Amino acid sequence: MIRQALRRNPWSFLGPAATQCLAAALVTAGLCLMASLDGAPLGREQRQALTDSGIADLGLLFLMSSIYLSMLIVGVTMSSAIRHQARDIALVRAVGATPGRVRRAVAAQAALVAVPATIVGVPLGMLCGRAWVSGFVSHGLVPAEVSFRVHGGALPIALAVTMGTSLLGAMIAAIRPSRVRPAVALADSAAPRLRIGVARTTAGLVLVTGGTVLSVLIADLDAGTADQAGLFVMLAMCTGAGLLGPALLRVAAPAARLLGNTGRLAADTLAVHARGLSGALVPLTLAIAFAAVNLTRTATTTHVTGVAAPAADRWLEFSGTGAYTAFAAIAALNTLITTILARRRDLAVTRLAGGTRGRTLAVVVCEALLVTGTALVVATVVAAVTLLPLLHTALGTWRPWMPGSWLAAGLAGTAVLVFAGTVLPAAITLRRPPIEVAG
């Protein structure tokens, strides 16, 4: 069954594999940074200076954040890959596989994907780590004695992280399809559940509320602690937004009706595919919010104090932000592509019902606009809740500031990402004659 599933849907596992590969790379880079800093032949004073500047802890901080981020993002991509297998799971349940057997098979798949992804990701992370360490040295953040060292445990630790996150995501996603009765499952996969679970909504609301409360509480703490807690606020808010994702997209969907008949079709389609697309909403929101928080904080600090941060600090800020944002963005891209490829047949049916290639693509464009808009709005809210208390603590202002060109670049970047994940693959699949696809 495992081999069959992998062969049938090779694309659906590309997403989890890619994100796991990046997760392994991030973890490796963090570990190697730690090893390089710890292992450097430094004098007592030099080491003390590193500890005081907070650079010494940077490796560990980066590692921990990478692990949190990986849990979230690998979990999301893995569970969306499993969701596309719901029908296959129903079929093997119907021919007599027990729920336990299905769960074991799903776990085996998740583990199987993690191994090659990690093997590719670890060397990638070492390359990044090497570039990063040399960047530290060239920007004068660390003494020249610090040289790149490979962390001995990089491979097993990275493997443990990818394997663990992959299994967790897959198991959570497999709970429902493995438990329901096969007859129900077969019908269910033909018409996806439209009602959003009470547990899901409750958990989402709790996380969003918790994040907000935490954010307000840390506003009164000292700047350093508030800074570190900020990441948790953001992760909680993004996970919460992801859980509320289907509801949010369904609320956003009617906006497309303003765009005429094509928009109406897009709105109807989006409403029923909200669950699948919300898998892309988590990493997308995370990428935008993460970049927005860090860049706005730097920009506002410069704007309010009138003093630009040292070039070295700016480099540090941007390289870290860049790594996380790219990770989340690639995960979002993966999920979007998986979702649109799973709809190949629907697109062909739309063409058979009389949709020209252009008009069918226009429907996808409308959907992409909606997803982009929703992600931007949600990410702005998340960023605001995370950032405003931090700004208030550090600078005593409630007004964030960001150059207009950065804002425009962010909007354009998000749109390009969503379009590359939806419109591009749709355009490619639409090149095949519809009768070949739908039959």
189 dihedral zone (left: phi>0; alpha: psi -120 to 50; beta): alpha
Closest to other proteins by CB, 257 vs 303, is 257
- Write down the least CB distance from residue 193 to other proteins, Å: 10
What minimum distance in Å lies between the beta carbon of 361 and other proteins?
11
Helices (H) and strands (E) in the chain, counts: 17, 0
Minimum Å distance from CB 246 to other proteins?
A: 13
**Which residue type does 106 have?**
V
Nearer to other proteins, 144 or 190 (CB): 190
Which residue, 223 or 428, is less far from other proteins as judged by CB? 428
Q: How far is the CB of 188 from other proteins (least distance, A)?
A: 9
Nearer to other proteins, 147 or 261 (CB): 261
Q: Between 181 and 399, whose beta carbon lies closer to other proteins? A: 181
Write the Ramachandran bin of 306: left for phi over 0, alpha for psi from -120 to 50, otherwise beta: left
> At closest approach, how far in Å is the CB of 360 from other proteins?
8
Token pair recorded at residue 154: 């990089």
CA-to-CA dists, residue 210 to 87, 216, 278, angstroms: 36, 10, 21
For residue 4, the minimal CB distance to other proteins (Å) is 22
Smaller CB separation from other proteins, 95 or 190: 190
Retrieve residue 139's tokens.
Answer: 């920007």
d(CA 246, CA 252): 10
Instruction: Identify the three-state secondary structure at position 388.
Output: helix
As measured in angstroms, the least distance from the Cβ of 435 to other proteins is 4
Segments in 219-259 forming alpha helices (H) = 223-243, 245-252
DSSP string for 161-205: HHHHHHHHHHHHHHHHHHHS-HHHHHHHHHS---SPPHHHHHHHH
- Of the pair 262, 335, the CB lying nearest other proteins is at 262
Interacting residues toward other proteins by CB under 8 A: 187, 190-192, 194, 261-262, 264-265, 268-269, 272-273, 346, 349-360, 433-435, 438-439
Rg of the chain over all Cα atoms, to the nearest angstrom:
23
